[in-house]
Copies of this chain bind each other. A is one copy, B any other.
Amino acid sequence: MTNLILYNTLTRKKEQFKPLNPPFVGLYVCGPTVYGDAHLGHARPAITFDLLFRYLQYLNYKVRYVRNITDVGHLENDADSGEDKIVKKAKLEQLEPMEIVQRYTDRYHHHMEQLNVLKPSIEPRASGHIIEQQQFVQRILDRGYAYEINGSVYFDVEKYHKQYHYGRLSGRVLEDLHTQTRALEGQEEKRNPYDFALWKKADANHLMHWPSPWSEGFPGWHLECSTMSTKYLGTPFDIHGGGMDLLFPHHECEIAQSTAADGHEAVKLWMHNNMITINGQKMGKSLGNFITLDELFTGNHRLLQQAYNPMTVRFFILQAHYRSTVDFSNEALQSAEKGLARLMKAWDILPGLTPGEPGEFDVTSWKQRCFEALDDDLNTPVMIARLFEAVRAINLAGEGKASFSASALTELVSLFDLFAGQLLGLQKPEKERSQNDRTTELIEMVLQLRLEAKRKNDYATADRLRDELTRLGVTVKDKKDGYDWEWDS
């Protein structure tokens, strides 16, 4: 038994974490829909549950972490594309959804790798589990909580609610939903507006569809997570995670589906990370503040003053508790960048410190307080504050104003690697980066010499130095009070 306490959205309480079947832990997290680039909203759950995955493994649990890929999209042939449909005879000329799926899945993987997010144990695709989803629909039909109409199958929320409790996770009240839910076009056949599709008959334009007992069609969106989580983790399983935007209706519907199919809920602990805002506003395509990870890492967005390193983004997200909102702004990211640089620098000099007299910094109690922060519902802001306590002590030791005993130093080195590296998943700057810094320092040094030569009216040396730098690909621009320089592009 460990001391890990996690907040359960279902009970609205922090609970001692007890695996159903120790030492095994089943963890399911809703992954991306791969019809576009991953954005800030994807980074947060990925990093939040990456931390949980890392910590559970550190605690010696055997974790099976399943994160799905939603690839059963709703791409349609565009009737307005202006192309002559009759010419579109060959398969190769047609839009192929799987080509789009592949492209954005590959890009998602690349961005997750940049954020140092570990790969899940299984990454199942919705399109790879059509049969299993059909079997799930059939079980719900057999137990009487769904109805078929015109080739589509809908979940009967009202009937379900008579027996169970629809709204248990989200706190929504069914009576209110009745008046609030809009009837969507093409869904007039539903008995109630809040009923949701388990299987949809495909219309003529729909590109992805499969045969089924009810129609040539495709599964409803909520169904894949109920199906794939229980296929790979059994039922019930330990933890289901995702962003708070998925709490309703997605996760509420997942609970209803599993309960209707099996008579009991599938998930013991629900965890939700809070949302991200941009300069205080909700992120949305219509607001022009929709920032993809690629844009963030390259700085290529009108709202961004610079490119942000993936580690800065990771650190920034971990600086907030996962159940708090996080507001992205250039100021906040730049401040995280500076903080991370301080942390990295201390981490870097730590192994080279000379042991001395035991100092005031108590490694043993510090270690305990770090674990207490993690155990307290993954309290990363407190955890990071603890790391900065160590940073201060390390810096003092670096300046010769304090010291650690040899044994404390050895322990601190390995604990810093554990907390900052293995658990928070921060990566030390790459070699190239530090190489870059050295090169920059060398150039600055030569330019400083040149400035001094100019002040002494030694223009021969000044010109010589500029020419040498030009030869090495550095363009020097003189300014009134100094210089600017840049690498030739």
Residue of B nearest to A430 (CB): B432
List CB contacts (< 8 Å) of A117-137 with chain B. 119-125, 127-128, 130-131, 135
Q: Shortest Cβ distance from A243 into chain B, in angstroms?
A: 23
A91 touches B445 (CB 8 A): no
A60-103 CB mask vs B (1 if < 8 Å, else 0) is 00101000000000000000000000000011110010110111
Q: Shortest Cβ distance from A40 into chain B, in angstroms?
A: 25
Known: A122-B98, A232-B98, A436-B435. A131 touches B128 (CB 8 A): no
Known: A123-B102, A128-B127. A21 touches B90 (CB 8 A): yes
List CB contacts (< 8 Å) of A22-42 with chain B. 24-26
Known: A442-B439, A442-B472. A90 touches B234 (CB 8 A): yes
Is the CB of A446 closer than 8 A to any CB of chain B?
yes
Residue of B nearest to A472 (CB): B441
Is the CB of A303 closer than 8 A to any CB of chain B?
no
A130 to B472: give the CA distance in the assembly, Å: 59
Q: Shortest Cβ distance from A225 into chain B, in angstroms?
A: 16
A468 to B443: give the CA distance in the assembly, Å: 12
Q: How many copies does the complex hold?
A: 2
A211 touches B21 (CB 8 A): no
Residues in chain B near residue A436, CB distance under 8 A: 435
Residue of B nearest to A432 (CB): B432
Residues in chain B near residue A432, CB distance under 8 A: 430-432, 435
A436 to B472: give the CA distance in the assembly, Å: 12
Is the CB of A106 closer than 8 A to any CB of chain B?
yes
Is the CB of A473 closer than 8 A to any CB of chain B?
yes
Is the CB of A438 closer than 8 A to any CB of chain B?
yes
Is the CB of A210 closer than 8 A to any CB of chain B?
yes
A331-359 CB mask vs B (1 if < 8 Å, else 0) is 00000000000000000000000000000
Residues in chain B near residue A384, CB distance under 8 A: none
B446 touches A92 (CB 8 A): no
A340 to B468: give the CA distance in the assembly, Å: 28
Known: A102-B119, A439-B438, A439-B442. A92 touches B21 (CB 8 A): yes
B102 touches A122 (CB 8 A): yes
Is the CB of A233 closer than 8 A to any CB of chain B?
yes
Interface size class of A (residues with CB under 8 A): 35 or more
Residues in chain B near residue A64, CB distance under 8 A: 92, 96, 99
A64 to B122: give the CA distance in the assembly, Å: 27
Q: Shortest Cβ distance from A475 into chain B, in angstroms?
A: 14
Contact of A99 among B92, B109, B121 (CB under 8 A): B121
Residues in chain B near residue A119, CB distance under 8 A: 102, 106
List CB contacts (< 8 Å) of A426-450 with chain B. 430-432, 435-436, 438-439, 441-443, 445-446, 449
List CB contacts (< 8 Å) of A399-441 with chain B. 430-432, 435-436, 438-439, 441
Q: Shortest Cβ distance from A27 into chain B, in angstroms?
A: 10
B468 touches A92 (CB 8 A): no
Residues in chain B near residue A473, CB distance under 8 A: 438
Q: Shortest Cβ distance from A425 into chain B, in angstroms?
A: 17
Residues in chain B near residue A435, CB distance under 8 A: 432, 435-436, 439
Q: Shortest Cβ distance from A131 into chain B, in angstroms?
A: 5
List CB contacts (< 8 Å) of A450-467 with chain B. 465
Residues in chain B near residue A431, CB distance under 8 A: 432
Residue of B nearest to A90 (CB): B21
B24 touches A92 (CB 8 A): yes
A443 to B106: give the CA distance in the assembly, Å: 41
Contact of A102 among B106, B120, B439, B445 (CB under 8 A): B120
Residue of B nearest to A212 (CB): B131
List CB contacts (< 8 Å) of A297-337 with chain B. none
Residues in chain B near residue A439, CB distance under 8 A: 435, 438-439, 442
Residues in chain B near residue A91, CB distance under 8 A: 26, 232-235, 237
A125 touches B122 (CB 8 A): no
11 A-B pairs in the complex with CB atoms less than 8 angstroms apart: A21-B93, A64-B92, A92-B234, A98-B124, A131-B131, A131-B211, A435-B435, A435-B436, A441-B472, A442-B446, A445-B472
Instruction: List 8 additional A-B contacts (Cβ < 8 Å) besides A64-B92, A438-B439.
Output: A24-B90, A92-B233, A99-B122, A102-B121, A128-B128, A442-B472, A445-B468, A449-B449
